[in-house]
Amino acid sequence: MAQHNIGIIMNGVTGRMGTNQHLIRSIVAIRNQGGVKLKNEDTIMPDPILVGRNQKKLQALANEHQINRWTTDLDEALDDSYNTIYFDAQTTVRRAESIKQAIAKGKHIYCEKPTATNLEESIELATLAKNAGVKNGVVQDKLFLPGLLKLKRLINAGFFGRMLSVRMEFGYWVFEGDWQEAQRPSWNYRKEDGGGIIVDMFAHWRYVIDHLFGHVKAVSCLGATHIPWRMDENGNKYQATADDAAYGTFELDNGVIVQANSSWAVRVNRDDLLTIQVDGTEGSAVAGLRNCKVQHRVNTPKPTWNPDIENPFDFQAQWQDVPDNQTFDNGFKVQWELFLKHVVTDEAFPWDLLEGAKGTQLSDLGLKSWEERRWIDVPEIII
């Protein structure tokens, strides 16, 4: 019953994702539950060292969560052989450089998506990690959402028959920052700082589509910057140079057609911030973040088009909920636990830097499709 203490360098941990999802809801939660239990009764205990620029912020965060290691010196943390994993949740533009430093020091790599701001750099990271023989993983959190796990359950059960099409609606209104504070950091709206909804969301759509519906063969995308000016964290007006909406269509190798609307300039009139509708010959489903409802072919109503009468159907009431039937833990935490097991016991972990590069590939090609106003084929990446 040994305990494996694993030193983890957590860079960018003072940010929104770093603090909430990765530190508090994942690493601190794992420590509080007594680590990750292995089949042989051993445990893995993550031992983070918080890294950032601001000493005061780091110290406060460390104190708040009973963590005794923090530093503003990344090199020092990388030089310490006790730290075997490097984790990165910095803003996207800073990620590649730090990951390269960490690979050069032989650290295993785990990081937020997108892995880099362009395909070349994403492939370089995957190749460097492969050649160095270090283990590597990328956050693919949407796969662990209860709603999507239920969707996967339906797919595995053959519920849909032949899948025909998928409609993904993602988005909500992100305030401009003038009369109400924006709920996302301002760099997201500046292309030069790694912002843009195509770079952000196509990295998610790639793994969601590939793991649930089929392999992406081609992409067509129209982007837009609907809100041209915003106010930043300091109350200064700035020009939004990045896209804040993307209207994408994806053709899959199995004939399924996927449409994905992603927008930070839309008001929500649907069940959730992300909804995914799948239509198949035998049935349909609509998944949100936690819930999923279905309509089988035998329960499908037969509407006819007649605007001269009141609508006789309550369409929303004609769907059935898929039950939980299991306990769902936080998706970021579940993926951290799998990565820690991968590092310690070699258990499989399919979501590596190559999978991350595929996400960047799709956003690069989406941007290209928008710029050139045409469909673009998605080639296989070989490293």
Ligand X SMILES: NC(=O)c1ccc[n+]([C@@H]2O[C@H](COP(=O)([O-])OP(=O)(O)OC[C@H]3O[C@@H](n4cnc5c(N)ncnc54)[C@H](O)[C@@H]3O)[C@@H](O)[C@H]2O)c1
Q: Which residues of this chain interact with ligand X, rule CB under 6 A?
A: 12, 14-18, 52-53, 89-92, 94, 112-113, 139, 141, 185, 200
Query: Is the CB of 35 or the CB of 196 nearer to ligand X?
Result: 196
How far is Cα 161 from Cα 284, in angstroms, rounded to an integer?
Answer: 10
Closest CA to 361 of 373, 371, 351, 353: 353
Q: Give how far Cα 343 sits from Cα of 11, 84, 123, 267, Å.
A: 19, 9, 22, 42
Q: Which residue number, 91 or 249, has a Cβ lying nearer to ligand X?
A: 91
- Nearer CB in complex with ligand X: 160/170: 170
Name the residue nearer to ligand X (CB basis): 109 or 322.
109
Q: Are 154 and 291 in contact (CB under 8 A)?
A: no
| Contact indicator for 50, 13 with CB cutoff of 8 Å | yes
Give 139 or 166: the residue with its C-beta nearer to ligand X: 139
The Cα–Cα gap between 84 and 343 comes to 9
Contact 45, 3 (CB under 8 A): yes
- Residue with smaller CB distance to ligand X, 177 or 283: 177
Nearer to ligand X, 90 or 220 (CB): 90
User: Shortest approach of ligand X to residue 215 CB, angstroms?
Assistant: 22
Give just the sign of the alpha carbon dihedral 54, 58, 61, 63. negative
* Shortest distance, position 234 Cβ to ligand X, whole Å: 14
Q: Which SS3 state, helix, strand or coil, does residue 313 take?
A: coil
Q: How far is the CB of 378 from ligand X (least distance, A)?
A: 21
Give me the least distance between CB of 201 and ligand X, in Å please: 9
**Nearest distance from residue 274's CB to ligand X, in Å?**
10
Question: Closest residue to ligand X, Cβ-based?
Answer: 15
Min dist. Cβ of residue 233 to ligand X (A)? 9
Cα 70 → chain centroid: 26
Query: For 126, phi and psi rounded to 5 degrees?
Result: -65, -40
Q: How far is the CB of 319 from ligand X (least distance, A)?
A: 27
Q: Are 121 and 101 in contact (CB under 8 A)?
A: no
